């Protein structure tokens, strides 16, 4: 399947693996890229630019296909060494970057000069138009269903994707609720040029996370995610567990007096304990509603092959209907 996204990134299938904290290591990115998609290393999971440079080199040892790096711009006082991370990406010969969080305008000239294509994650049409106006090559449009930060507008993809198609001139992919060939073909029908999957890729053989995490996703239904930090306007969709329910109780009790410090125990620094040690009640971890569509743990190759096979069946069915 050829789309503007497969052409832009030099990939076989219009499927991107989103950047995920303590999931997007070289093993994950290489497995997705080897299967014909675009794998993504999560930049800030690597503690220093030098660590990222080593992870990029490690990924290159595992695949000769294109892969990218996610670089999330955080609203923080003690900012990471962004110039160092940008240099590591460019020096490593990476030609695709997924930016997220705050406006990436300050780094775009460096990536442009190095021939790096930038796809920015957006949760609204206005943010996507802003990304287009500052020179991003593509955008990932995140619906309210997505794991992680869905923004504050609560617009699901059945509305958001056609709205993006109406307004944007640059290519875009769908994100949030994506799991199979139905997701891909629905996205394309609504104007997208491909799809971005996060949660679905965690439940694969190659995902470098604890088996407890994969089992939790397979066992979950679409009703097992929660929205936390809404009162702080930093909403995150996470898998429910004891820590998350405690966090929600605190939010309810404290109301308008809630501060980040009140819930820091449940949200800060928990990813290594969950993703690497399998402590499933350690705190809040991002998970999409799409968990309700995930029932197995295939290899990335099996998953992507299956998605493309399903997409072809749907295309044939649609052609038969139109005939």
* Per-residue pLDDT tens digits for 18-46: 999 999 999 999 999 999 999 999 999 99
pTM: 0.97
SS3 154: coil
* Per-residue pLDDT tens digits for 214-246: 999 999 999 999 999 999 999 999 999 999 999
Q: What is the mean pLDDT of residues 273-287?
A: 97
* Per-residue pLDDT tens digits for 114-125: 999 999 999 999
Listed in sequence order, the DSSP H helices in the chain are 4-9, 26-34, 49-62, 82-91, 108-113, 125-134, 157-167, 181-189, 199-202, 211-219, 242-254, 260-267, 271, 300-322
Q: What is the mean pLDDT of residues 247-251?
A: 96
Residue 323: predicted pLDDT: 66
Q: Quick check: 137 and 157 in contact, CB under 8 A?
A: no
The domains found in the chain, sorted by start residue, are 4-207+300-322 (3.20.20.70), 221-286 (no CATH)
pLDDT greater than 80 at residue 3: yes
Residue 78: predicted pLDDT: 84
Q: What percent of the chain has pLDDT over 70?
A: 99
Residue 243: C-alpha distances to residues 77, 230, 247 (Å): 27, 16, 6
């Amino acid at each position: 399947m050829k789309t503007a996204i497969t052409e832009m990134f030099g990939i076989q299938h219009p499927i991107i693996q989103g950047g995920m904290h303590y999931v997007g290591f070289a093993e994950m990115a290489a497995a997705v890229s080897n299967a014909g998609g675009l794998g993504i290393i999560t930049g800030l999971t690597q503690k220093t630019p030098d660590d990222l440079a080593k992870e990029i080199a490690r990924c290159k040892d595992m695949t000769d296909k294109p892969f990218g790096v996610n670089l999330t711009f955080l609203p923080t006082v003690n900012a990471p060494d962004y110039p160092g991370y940008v240099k590591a990406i460019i020096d490593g010969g990476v030609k695709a970057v997924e930016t997220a969080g705050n406006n990436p305008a300050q780094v775009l000239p460096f990536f442009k000069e190095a021939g790096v294509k930038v796809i920015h994650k957006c949760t609204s049409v206005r943010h996507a138009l802003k990304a287009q106006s500052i020179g991003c090559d593509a955008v990932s449009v995140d619906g309210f269903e997505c794991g992680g930060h869905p923004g504050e507008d609560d617009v699901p993809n059945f509305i958001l994707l056609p709205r993006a198609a109406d307004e944007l001139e640059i290519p875009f992919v769908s994100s949030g609720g994506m799991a199979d060939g139905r997701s891909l073909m629905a996205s394309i029908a609504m104007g997208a040029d491909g799809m971005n999957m996060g949660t679905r890729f965690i439940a694969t053989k190659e995902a470098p996370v604890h088996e407890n995490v994969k089992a939790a996703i397979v066992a979950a239904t679409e009703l097992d995610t929660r929205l936390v930090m809404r009162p702080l306007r930093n909403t995150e969709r996470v898998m429910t567990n004891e820590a998350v329910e405690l966090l929600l109780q605190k939010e309810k009790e404290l109301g308008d007096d809630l501060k980040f410090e009140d819930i820091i125990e449940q949200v800060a620094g928990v990813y290594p304990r969950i993703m690497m040690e399998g402590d499933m009640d350690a705190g809040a971890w991002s998970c999409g509603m799409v968990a309700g569509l995930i029932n197995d743990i295939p290899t990335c190759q099996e998953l992507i092959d299956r998605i493309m096979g399903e997409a072809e069946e749907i295309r044939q069915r649609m052609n038969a209907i139109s005939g």
